[in-house]
Structure 1
Amino acid sequence: MSLDERSAGRSAAEGRQYFLDWLRVTAFGLLIVYHTGMLYVPWDFHIKSPCILEWLTWPMVALNPWRLALLFFISGVACRHLLDRQGPGAFLRGRALRLLPVLILGVLVIVPPQSYLELRQDGAIPPGFLRFWLQHYLAADQSFGLILPTWNHLWFLPYLLVYVGLLSMLDAALPGGIERLARGLLRRGLPALLVAVGLWFAASNVVALEFRPDTHALLDDWAAHLRWFGLFLAGALLAKSSVWNLLQARRAELALAALGCLLAFLALRYGLRAGMAPEAWVRPIYGSAAGIFGWVVILALCGLAKAWFDRPSPLLSYLNRAVLPLYALHQTLLILLAAVLFVCDLPVLVEAPLLFALTLAGCWVLYELAIRRSRVLAPLFGLDSRKGSER
């Protein structure tokens, strides 16, 4: 028996789901693609390219309903395995020790250049980052219309920390914990639970659009919590069920359904923008369609990845370690590079791929040369400095 086969056997016994690791890495990689696109679409972002591409909104819209939902769902699965292995107290402490240093470093050091360059592009402040950081950013100056200090793209981390805490409390408070709750819900049938999650996703989208659009501010983002915590909890409840084998067996049908939902969703958006429905119906229709489309895509991706990528790999091990530092760094590096390249007046079809490539390369260089083996920086980016691995 080869080393890989022995490793795969141990993984199966421990419930390791390599295909979800691949999906997690891919979803975080899509963030770089998506945030590069945000520079060129007519939506609000920290800085904007002089060249706005209206057509780019369509692939961005196709990503929106499922890219973050997939991350919260996979996070719920991973947290369930850790929770069962470690117990509520150790699980909560371990996640806090890993994620809090990244969040604090991000808010105080990594994110400030984004706010500085945003205000510089708007002409709201004079040149001088250090003065801005000391006199405005750290002083929580709100006079510019920005929330300072801020976590910007790192908002996922405080949300995840809150959900980790809620999951720990649920497991400790419920008789039999999350395991018993999952078994009780699954007695009603796995398909019924999958449908219920999709309906919850759709309904929470409608609630957010009608009553409280996402703010990423944590405390006042109650409608978004209905969506994100619902998907996180769904991942935790389904983590040790037979859902993965079912999705693998139905992957072809799910892939076709996802493609059909994509085409229908884009056609629906076009029609709604063209006035095909009364104004009062637009948000409920759009939110419901986005939830159904997003959930079908997530199920299809899980089924396909389970069939194709459920095996250990040295590359996967490396990417699993690197993904949190790269996530923390990518948006600041992207915006810094964009501020430089925008003045070069390159053709946009050269500039945008170059920005993406330079951002990815810059993150990797910083990870390899400055973070991975550093006893100081590695723990601040969620790594064990002795092994260069995740804590």
Structure 2
Amino acid sequence: MKTQRRYDIDWLRVIAIGLLLIYHIAIVFQPWAMFIGFIRSDELMESLWKPMSMLNIWRIPLLFYVSGMGVYFAVQKRNWKELLLERSKRILLPYIFGVIAIVPLHFLIFQKYYHLPLGYYAHQGHLWFLANIFVYILIFFPLFFYLKKIRDSRFVRKISSWMRYPAGPLSVTIFFALEVLLVKPQVFEMYAETWHGFFLGMIAFFFGFFFVFIGETFWQTVLKWKWLYLGLALTLCLGRFTLFNLVPPAYLLTLESNCWIFAIFGLGFKYLNKPGHTLTYLSRAAYPVYIIHMFVLYAASMIILPFDIPVFLKFVTIVAFTGIGCFVIYEFGIRRIYFLSPFFGLKWKSKAGRNLGIDKKIKKKEILEIPVRNS
């Protein structure tokens, strides 16, 4: 089945991973950094927490939505055996490799920085996201292939008709609200390795698939009503800051989160749905960068924090160091050492393709080479 290329979804994944890097760097300058295993700066920038709070309620749910969308496109071209095999290669293999060989690196840097006894142990760390995605695929793939068979059913047509209204997409917030009412997370934004993060991610993953499955209706709705969604998101965010001191009822956070996400989908559909060499490169780089960024960030923190320079300059320098370090490792290591590719979620390059111009020859349908791709 031929599917239309959706470059805006590719762009949103790249942007979300970029925001993830900035967010993790900002944690270094928060007073609670060490409580979640980050190196902490002696000089803090607590003012960063307000913009971080704006991002924090939607940045991870957005990635789960986009991941589900990527699986929709994969399902269109594969049977269930091919899907499980392909996702095992793209998700499970990098996850296992990362747990064994990548995550322990930033643990060792943390131990060295604080003069703790050095010790290796495997841990999933920030790769919990990959574990969740793989489990969701195992849970949902029978349903996804069933939906593929009933695409033209009366049920699907009714849902698609409901999605024509601005309340249509927002109605899925009911499931997110039920999740927080049942699970009762202590902190809404604690997604990593929590039941709240698991179930919230599962809901977003499913509806990411479902929104693409029902067709163009969803996209036309978020395109038409994008400013309404953005206005609601800003209003709810302002209320969170002024009325609730950043801690409103969790069900309000689910509504604000989805308003942000649907506004972003609408804006992305309008302005980002176009190909380009930059997108081609960044789409391939995003997954490896996600895997390696934490140990690069910890190395940057260890090197830069001891310097006697203004704290804002430390923040900017760590951002630059992390970005450049990830680029160097990807460009001159992962991308050029062909046998490393599968361990970072990329296709194993054939001998004929092991040249420095390989990216220029990638077919458009292969632009996105990671688990949340849309091809």
TM-score tier after normalising by the smaller chain length: 0.7 to 0.9
Root mean square deviation of aligned Cα = 2.6
TM-score of the aligned structures, taking structure 2 as reference length: 0.84
Residues 1-391 of structure 1 aligned to structure 2 (within 5 Å) = 14-43=3-32, 44-45=35-36, 46-125=38-117, 132-133=119-120, 137=121, 149-172=122-145, 176=149, 183=156, 186=159, 189-190=162-163, 191=165, 193-210=168-185, 214=190, 216-217=192-193, 221-240=194-213, 241=215, 242-270=217-245, 285-386=248-349, 390=369
Cα drift, residue 211 of structure 1:
7.2
Query: Structure 1 63/261 Cα, relative in aligned 2: closer, same or farther at 3 Å?
Result: same
Cα drift, residue 288 of structure 1:
1.4
Cα drift, residue 82 of structure 1:
0.8
Cα drift, residue 124 of structure 1:
3.5
Question: What do residues 81-117 of structure 1 show as CA deviations (whole Å, max 9, x unaligned)?
Answer: 1112212221121011111221122111111122223
Q: Distance in 1 between matches of 2:242 and 2:42?
A: 29
Cα drift, residue 269 of structure 1:
3.5
CA contact (8 A) 1:89 1:168 kept: no
Question: What do residues 213-251 of structure 1 show as CA deviations (whole Å, max 9, x unaligned)?
Answer: 75734xxx4333221100100011111321111111122
Q: Secondary structure at the match of 1:117?
A: helix
Q: Distance in 2 between matches of 1:299 and 1:24?
A: 14
2:361 is aligned to: none
Query: Structure 1 194/377 Cα, relative in aligned 2: closer, same or farther at 3 Å?
Result: same
CA contact (8 A) 2:69 2:212 kept: yes
CA contact (8 A) 2:75 2:145 kept: no
Cα drift, residue 48 of structure 1:
0.8
Q: Distance in 2 between matches of 1:253 and 1:205?
A: 25
CA contact (8 A) 2:335 2:341 kept: yes
Q: Name which structure has the greater RCO, CA cutoff 8 Å, separation 6+.
A: 2
Amino acid at match of 1:229: M
Q: Distance in 2 between matches of 1:342 and 1:232?
A: 38
Q: Distance in 1 between matches of 2:181 and 2:8?
A: 31
CA contact (8 A) 1:372 1:385 kept: no
Q: Distance in 2 between matches of 1:259 and 1:360?
A: 30
Query: Structure 1 188/211 Cα, relative in aligned 2: closer, same or farther at 3 Å?
Result: farther
Unpaired segments ≥5 residues, structure 1: 1-9, 138-148, 273-284
Query: Structure 1 92/306 Cα, relative in aligned 2: closer, same or farther at 3 Å?
Result: same
TM-score of the aligned structures, taking structure 1 as reference length: 0.81
% identical equivalent positions = 27
Cα drift, residue 317 of structure 1:
1.1
4+ long deviations beyond 6 Å? none
Query: Structure 1 182/16 Cα, relative in aligned 2: closer, same or farther at 3 Å?
Result: farther
Question: What do residues 155-198 of structure 1 show as CA deviations (whole Å, max 9, x unaligned)?
Answer: 11111111111221323567936886971661571145423312
Q: Secondary structure at the match of 1:270?
A: coil
